[in-house]
A and B are shown apart, each in its own frame.
Chain A
Amino acid sequence: MTVNAGDKVYAAAEEAAKQTYIRALKLLPPDVKAALARARAAETDSSGQGFLDIMLENVAVAERDTNLVCQDTGTVVFWLEVGEDCPLNLARVSAAVKKGTERATLEHPLRPNAVHPVTRKNTMTNTGRHLPAMHYEFVAGSDEMRADALKLHCLPKGSGSENMSFLKMFVPADGVKAVKRFVLECIVDAGPKPCPPTIVGVGLGGTADLCAALAKKAVLRPLGTHSDDPEIAVLEDELLAAANELGIGPMGLGGRTTALGVHIEWAHTHITQNPVAVNLQCWAARRSSALITPAGDVTYGF
Chain B
Amino acid sequence: MTDETRLSFPIADLDALRELRAGDRLRIDGHVIGIRDATQIAMFDRGEKPRMDLTGAVLIHTAPNVRKLGEGRYEKVCIGTTTSARMNRFTRGLMEQYGVRAIIGKGGLLADSLPVLQEFGGVYFAIAGGAAALETTQIEEIEAVEFEELLPECLWTFRVRDFGPLVVAMDSHGHSLYEDVTAKARDTLAELVARL
Interface on A for B, CB 8 Å cutoff?
A: 46-47, 50-51, 54-55, 57-59, 61-62, 65, 67-73, 108-112, 120, 122, 124, 158-160, 163, 177, 180-181, 184-185, 188, 191-193, 195, 242, 245-254, 282-284
Asked if B52 is at the interface of the complex by the 8 Å CB criterion, the answer is no
Q: How far is the CB of B167 from chain A (nearest CB, A)?
A: 7
Q: Is the CB of A160 within 8 A of B106?
A: yes
CA distance A58 to B79 in the complex (A): 12
Spell out B's residues near A (CB within 8 Å).
1, 38, 62-67, 77-83, 85-86, 106-108, 126, 128-137, 151-152, 165, 167, 169, 177-178, 180-182, 184-186, 188-189, 192-193, 196
- B129/A65 in contact, CB under 8 A: no
Please give, as numbers and ranges, the residues of chain A lying within 8 Å of B151 by CB-CB distance. 112, 122, 124
Is the CB–CB distance between B78 and A68 below 8 Å?
Answer: yes
What CA separation (Å) do A239 and B89 show in the bound complex?
34
Q: Chain B contacts of A71 at CB under 8 A?
A: 62-65, 78-82, 132, 135
Interface of B is mostly: mixed
Check B185–A191 contact: CB distance below 8 A.
Answer: yes
Extra A-B contacts (11), CB below 8 Å, given A65-B137, A185-B189, A242-B192: A68-B133, A70-B78, A71-B65, A110-B77, A191-B178, A191-B182, A246-B185, A246-B188, A248-B185, A251-B128, A253-B178
Cβ 8 A contact of A50, one of B1, B77, B133: B1
User: Can you sample 8 A-B contacts with CB below 8 Å?
Assistant: A67-B132, A68-B65, A71-B62, A111-B63, A112-B152, A246-B185, A247-B188, A254-B177
**Which of these, B38, B83, B134, B192, contacts A58 with CB under 8 Å?**
B134
Q: Is the CB of B193 within 8 A of A110?
A: no
Contact A159 B83 (CB under 8 A): yes
* Interface contact B108-A72, CB-CB below 8 Å: no
Say yes or no: A193 contacts B85, CB within 8 Å: yes
Looking at the assembled complex, report how far the CB atom of A170 sits from the nearest CB atom of chain B, in whole angstroms: 14
Residue from A57, A67, A112, A252 in contact with B107 in the complex, judged by beta carbons closer than 8 Å: A252
Q: Which residues of A contact B184 (CB under 8 A)?
A: 247
